[in-house]
Amino acid sequence: MLQRSGNGGGYDWDELVQPDRVHRLIYADPEIFQRELTHVFGAVWVYLAHESQIPNNNDFITGKLGLRPIIICRDNDGKVRALYNRCTHRGTTLCRWEKGNSRSFQCPYHGWSYLNNGRIRGVPWPDGYAVDFRDPKFNLAQVPRVESYRGFIFGTLNMDAPSLANYLGPIRKPMDEWIDRNPGGKIVVCEANRLKFKGNWKLAYDNSADGYHVIYSHRSLIETEARFNDGEKGMSYYKNSPDKLAMYVAYTGNGHHYKDKRPNLQKRDGGLWAIESFHPGMEHVAEKLRAQLGARAEAVLDYAGSEPMNINVFPNLSLLGNHIQVIEPVSVDETNAVWYGTKIEDVDGTIGDDVLREINTLRMRTQEGFPNLGEVDDITNFEQIQRGLACLEDEWIYMNRGMDMPERFRTDDEGVIYGPATDEVFMREYIMKWKRLMQSEPQLTVQREP
Ligand code: FES
Ligand SMILES: [Fe+2]
């Protein structure tokens, strides 16, 4: 059995992550998980929130950077910040609300208060202190680099990380397309469907563009959908030979990848809505909109449909259908999978308030398709993998589908690798990126207002 040896963290990372397989410990060892919190969730750009969740000055939401509790806010001057949600006095979390609007935060323990730019504002009975509270060490720690890409806010503790745009690189193209299919290229993030599973966070990321499992793991969902629309609903296109279809997976670098199922669809107004999973009442609403809007209805209904793309931004963000999934590590064998709904806006006044409300309701209810009926299949697999990993002597997990078969792949000028939908090439590439991160020695830093 694999034993610990000399370098970084006590493991030989090249032994744990090999070209065709990975060791069970990368999912099961608490010390490897601890190292990920700095070497992955501190060292690269991590998705924190969407700007539409904090549209106004002094809006805030609470979230996490790895396990670090943080407050993502738009301060009184409009600057987006990620404050450590940790009182500088004795370390308790400062803000215990999910979201709100406030120019300052007061600690529930002893009442120290802070402005939303992180500066300390005051402490109760200051005459009991011989210190100068203007010393920056009393200001809240904050994530030193916070940047947005088209509304998606990311942060990193690594001053040596590239710019966010460089980090994202070619994954920006499918992200742009996913965003731009909505009126004015705009989405508004809504409330979330919150799931959790007893498994390592990477099991979700491994699976995020896996086209190999679909027809087996999601059989009951596909069969349910197949009772409607001549069997052409949802992901039914997987049912024959998925690698022969026009859909594909692409690995774009830095751990990011996507599966693009759009080429399987008929390009016509209403083509997307036609394959949308059924939920009770949707036909009634669709018929009403058709009666009201005539020929325009199909294009408008497509706004409610689930865009057939899985776009995965390493390490914690997926754009799936019309949802945003955030992977939140909790412990080595516990993870939250949070599915945010998204709304559209009537940016140029052509949709109208009533229709917009109906479309956004239909859009929200697509949670009743894959996120509720498919994600539970996936989560069951993740939990059962974690159980299987308790077989200590059976050490290896294979990611070798398509390996040593160069005829299955194509690499473009930007280095993006394209392969058939069931291929594990993206898994092998992203886990190599993970290995390089775990081998590196990033310098992490926090910032405090002066
Ligand atoms: S821990 Fe926050 S005021 Fe004491
Ligand atoms: Fe799945």
Counting from 1 in the atom list of ligand 1, the atom nearest the Cα of 90 is: 1
Q: Are the C-beta atoms of 63 and 72 separated by less than 8 Å?
A: yes
Does ligand 1 come within 6 angstroms of the Cβ of 194? no
Structure tokens, 33 = 């998980």
In the numeric block, which tokens belong to residue 117?
Answer: 């730019």
Q: Is the pTM of this model over 0.85?
A: yes
Q: pLDDT 10s digit of each residue in the chain, 450 long?
A: 776 655 556 899 999 999 999 999 999 999 999 999 999 999 999 999 999 999 999 999 999 999 999 999 999 999 999 999 999 999 999 999 999 999 999 999 999 999 999 999 999 999 999 999 999 999 999 999 999 999 999 999 999 999 999 999 999 999 999 999 999 999 999 999 999 999 999 999 999 999 999 999 999 888 888 887 666 777 888 888 899 999 999 999 999 999 999 998 888 999 999 888 888 888 899 999 999 999 999 999 999 999 999 999 999 999 999 999 999 999 999 999 999 999 999 999 999 999 999 999 999 998 888 888 899 999 999 999 999 999 999 999 999 999 999 999 999 999 999 999 999 999 999 999 999 999 999 999 999 999
Ligand 1 lined by 90 (C-beta under 6 Å): yes
- Looking at residue 277, its pLDDT comes to 84
Non-local CB neighbours of 297 within 8 Å, separated by 6+ positions: 270, 286, 289, 290
- Which residue ranges make up each domain of the chain? 47-149, 169-436
- Nearest-CA residue for atom 3 of ligand 1: 110
Domain 47-149, CATH 2.60.40.420 — does that match?
Answer: no
From the CA of 375, the nearest ligand is 2
What local confidence, expressed as pLDDT, does residue 42 receive? Answer: 98
Task: Name which residue sits closest to atom 4 of ligand 1, judged by CA.
Answer: 110
Q: What distance in angstroms lies between residue 41's CA and the mean position of ligand 1's atoms? A: 27
Report the separation in Å between the CA atom of 221 and the middle of ligand 2, taken as the mean of its atom positions. Answer: 10
Which atom in ligand 1 lies closest to the alpha carbon of residue 87? 2
The ligand minimizing its distance to the Cα of 124 is: 1
- Whether 112 lines ligand 1, by a CB cut-off of 6 Å, is yes
Query: What is the residue with the minimal CA distance to atom 1 of ligand 1?
Result: 90
Rounded-to-integer distance, Cα 88 and Cα 65, Å: 18
pLDDT of residue 238: 84
CATH superfamily of domain region 169-436: Naphthalene 1,2-dioxygenase Alpha Subunit; Chain A, domain 1 (3.90.380.10)
The runs of H, that is alpha helices, within 10-119 are: 13-16, 25-28, 30-39
> Mutation test of ligand 1: which of 71, 88, 107, 139 has the most ligand atoms closer than 8 Å to its C-beta?
107
